[in-house]
Amino acid sequence: MSANSLVTAITHNIPFFLRAPAEALIGEECYNTLVYDFNITDGECLKYALSKGLGFGIVIGGSIVKIPQIIKIVSDQSARGLSLSAYALETVAYAINLAYNSRNAFPFSTYGETFFLAIQNVIITLLIIHLAPQKGAVIGAKPLSSKQNTNRTKVLTGAVITAATGFFLWSEIFCPLSLLSILQAVTLPLSLISKAPQILTNYKYRSTGNLSAFAVFNNFLGCVARVFTTKQEVDDPLIFWGFASAAVLNAVLAVQMIMYWKDNEEKEEEVRRHNASEKGLPDVLERTGGILEVDTGKRWSRKLD
């Protein structure tokens, strides 16, 4: 008995609960060719199956790709080095791309990660606004009151604008498909513009700040894979060139992440010292080499006139 006969003896008896999802993923025709008959020489079905597998892998990866970035911002309570304009423009591009794919009923596996990336980007953008330095803030000063803290108002405004944008893009009355196609074309230069502020910020400070390496490299690999899946499953040049241009710019960010890796460690040490100085402890840190020593003797409880 040949090896192929041994394999087909198994593939012909795959239970329904395993066969059904596979057929739904790659289609009945390609399932019969690649799995049931074990004919792996069919180039078209192989490329289609690879595209589907990559597509769902990207969707799963996209659902978590920027979570480390969010965690890093929240844990450090700092958005240092992150460009607000870059994230805002990128979020707009994601929203347009998501609406265009959704309303054209393209397969979810070809754009699903955009849904998750858009949500994560909105969170990061609002965090950047929330953690932006207040005008007139003084190091070591008391925290601003809710009335003085205008960032909260800006965050609320940003959330309202986000909701209004979503309503507009999915409204057939206010944004017909003809207009949405024009907006999708605009995302090509918008994608280029959105990455420029972050790239320039990195170059200016020779540091990528709190930019997450996990997010940068996964965005790059995801865009490269999307170029392939879009070519295979969606014959739309607007989407194809959008991913192609994004892949190039994400490659630049990935190179910067590698180039400035050592400088990032030095910058993080400076930030730790700066955060300590905001608590009124700069001199102590400098004298102890960054280690805070506290004397609990009575002299700390002495009355000050």
Provide the whole-model pTM: 0.68
Domain boundaries, the chain: 3-41, 52-131+148-267
Rounded distance between C-alpha atoms, residue 269 and residue 286, angstroms: 12
- pLDDT single digits (tens) 145-192: 444 467 888 899 999 999 999 999 999 999 999 999 999 988 888 777
- pLDDT single digits (tens) 283-297: 444 444 444 444 444
pLDDT of 197: 85
pLDDT of 127: 94
pLDDT of 70: 93
Q: Which regions in the chain score pLDDT beneath 50?
A: 137-148, 281, 283-305
Secondary structure of the chain in the HEC alphabet? CCHHHHHHHHHCCCCHHHHHHHHHHHCHHHHHHHHHCCCCCCHHHHHHHHHHHHHHHHHHHHCCCCHHHHHHHHHHCCCCCCCHHHHHHHHHHHHHHHHHHHHCCCCHHHCHHHHHHHHHHHHHHHHHHHCCCCCCCCCCCCCCCCCCCCHHHHHHHHHHHHHHHHHHHCCCCCCCHHHHHHHHHHHHHHHHHHHHHHHHHHHHHCCCCCCCHHHHHHHHHHHHHHHHHHHHHCCCHHHHHHHHHHHHHHHHHHHHHHHCHHHHHHHHHHHHHHHHHHCCCHHHHHHHCCCCCCCCCHHHHCCCC
pLDDT of 275: 56
pLDDT of 24: 84
Q: Check: CB of residue 260 under 8 Å from CB of residue 207.
A: yes
Rounded distance between C-alpha atoms, residue 161 and residue 129, angstroms: 14
Rounded distance between C-alpha atoms, residue 305 and residue 302, angstroms: 10
pLDDT of 145: 47
